[in-house]
Amino acid sequence: MEPLFSPALHSQRHQFVIDFVMKSKPRKVADLGCGECSLLRKLRFHREIQVLVGVDINGAKIQKKKHKLAPISTEYLQPSFDQLRIEMYQGSVTRRDARLKGFDLVTCIELIEHLTLANVEHFSAVVFGYMTPVTVIVSTPNSEFNPLLPGLSGFRHSDHKFEWTRAEFRSWALKVCLEYGYEVEFTGVGENMQSQQDRVGFCSQIGVFHRIGGRDHYNTLPGDDAEDIFSYTLLYTINYPSLHDNNTLRKVLVGEVIYWAEQIKNRWMEEKTGERSCAFSLCEAVRGLQELHMEPHEELKATACADEMEGPVNQCKGGVYDEKEDKWDEMPWPKSPEQQDSCAVNRCVFVPLSALWSCCPKVSELSGSVNNLQHLLMDEPDVKLSQDGCAVLVKVQEQDREAEVYGDLDDSGYTEASQCSHSVEQEENWETNY
């Protein structure tokens, strides 16, 4: 049998919420009656959200699906500056919990019809009177549409306590607005493609409630001055990797610095001749990065090829560092193979931090300034800095020296490293079948 709705009705409800999130960009979002967390799994990719909370009375469902809310591997390998914390609670939407107060958006998708009418009143007081979110999205079945659903007799789900007409839903919503200081817009999803649309309305009716006064206005209920209540049980929480976390920032920065220091060293060694000094020029760095399809920082391009500019050696005492003797050698690179072997052992090529910061957009973005870059790298065991802290020391490996001796880098087998650089949202029975 052909599906009645395309996309499926539950997908249309979720897309309605996602479209609202993309437009309004709420920072704190809670989904009440989150069920199997399917809406939360979609919302977690919208990184304007900083706090994402799910609440359901069925803790077993949360425990079963919570692992699907964990960060994926690429979010650990390439964390962004965005922050996201996910929290999952077991609890009833008819009871208060202070951790759910003051959210930007609360969603209640196909929830209220699972409550008794008496509990709907408690739900209204908790959500609109106590939690006081800026916006609440409530969806519920429209009973006027039911005669158009093939094979349906009675309610759409065996757990439904009621299903409202459009007039009944409107009456409840306007009462909520009057009591708790909200205004509401009515819409829905699941259109009837026949001529009866105006007569029966949407399959799922939706009310979008906006708090009068927005973020700056909070409602209070009698007794709200009492001690905060924590009635929900926290089942799962996770902080997504973010560059706002200093440890994460350092790990990513160190990886970028090591990678690009090697790239700059390798580019210099490819171009270096027997007569060339150990110090490579910034102009060479620019050319090398452009050949690597990396766009140098504008500051570097503006100064790299200035007259008489000899490059990083002018910015930082250096040349080739003799690790064994703990000293710098400013003499040109030896010309003969014998001299190469004698002086290259335990030696490092220095790559100034100023060149790294200027040449590599990711390094400059992460560090902010050369001084801050130096500070962040100072105590990192994986990065060796020069004595004055202004350059990264990159060891000259055996294969590098052999390539310099024989001038045959292309045949040396070297391969360039790759860049590191209350259970509610249940599918209704008739929806599953159609």
pLDDT digit of tens for each residue in the chain (434 aa)?
Answer: 456 788 999 999 999 999 999 999 999 999 999 999 999 999 999 989 999 999 999 999 999 999 999 998 877 777 877 889 999 999 999 999 999 999 999 999 999 999 999 999 999 999 999 999 999 999 999 999 988 888 888 898 889 999 999 999 999 999 999 999 999 999 999 987 665 667 889 999 999 999 998 776 555 454 554 568 899 999 999 999 887 777 777 888 888 888 888 888 887 777 664 444 444 444 444 444 444 444 444 444 444 433 333 344 333 333 444 444 444 444 333 334 443 443 344 567 778 888 888 888 888 888 888 888 888 888 888 888 888 888 888 887 655 555 544 444 344 443 333 343 355 444 455 565 55
- For 277-330, strand residue ranges (E) read 320-322, 327-329
Same structural domain, 178 and 256: no
How many domains does the chain fold into?
2
Residues 6+ apart with CB under 8 A from 313: 277, 278, 279, 319, 330
Residues 179-194: b if buried by 16+ CB within 10 A, e if exposed: ebbbebeeebbbebee
Same structural domain, 237 and 282: no
Can you give the pTM of this predicted structure?
Answer: 0.68
Same structural domain, 291 and 147: no
Same structural domain, 181 and 257: no
The pLDDT of residue 431: 62
Same structural domain, 232 and 263: no
CATH number, domain of 91, equals: 3.40.50.150
Chain centroid to Cα 197, Å, comes to 40
- For 271-400, strand residue ranges (E) read 320-322, 327-329, 347-352, 391-395
The pLDDT of residue 196: 62
Q: Starting at the edge strand that comes first in sequence, how are the strands of the sheet with 85-90 ordered?
A: 182-189, 204-211, 135-141, 105-109, 28-32, 51-56, 85-90, 233-239
Whether residue 260 is contained in a domain is answered as yes
Q: How many CB atoms lie within 10 A of CB 158?
A: 7
Whether residue 279 is contained in a domain is answered as yes
Strand partners, 238: 86
Same structural domain, 333 and 267: yes
Which residue range(s) make up the domain with 216? Answer: 9-243+423-433
Whether residue 414 is contained in a domain is answered as no
Same structural domain, 53 and 156: yes
Whether residue 418 is contained in a domain is answered as no
The pLDDT of residue 365: 83
Give the integer Cα–Cα distance in Å for 228 and 225: 8
Chain centroid to Cα 160, Å, comes to 37
Same structural domain, 283 and 210: no
Same structural domain, 283 and 137: no
Whether the Cβ atoms of residue 20 and residue 43 lie closer than 8 Å to each other: no
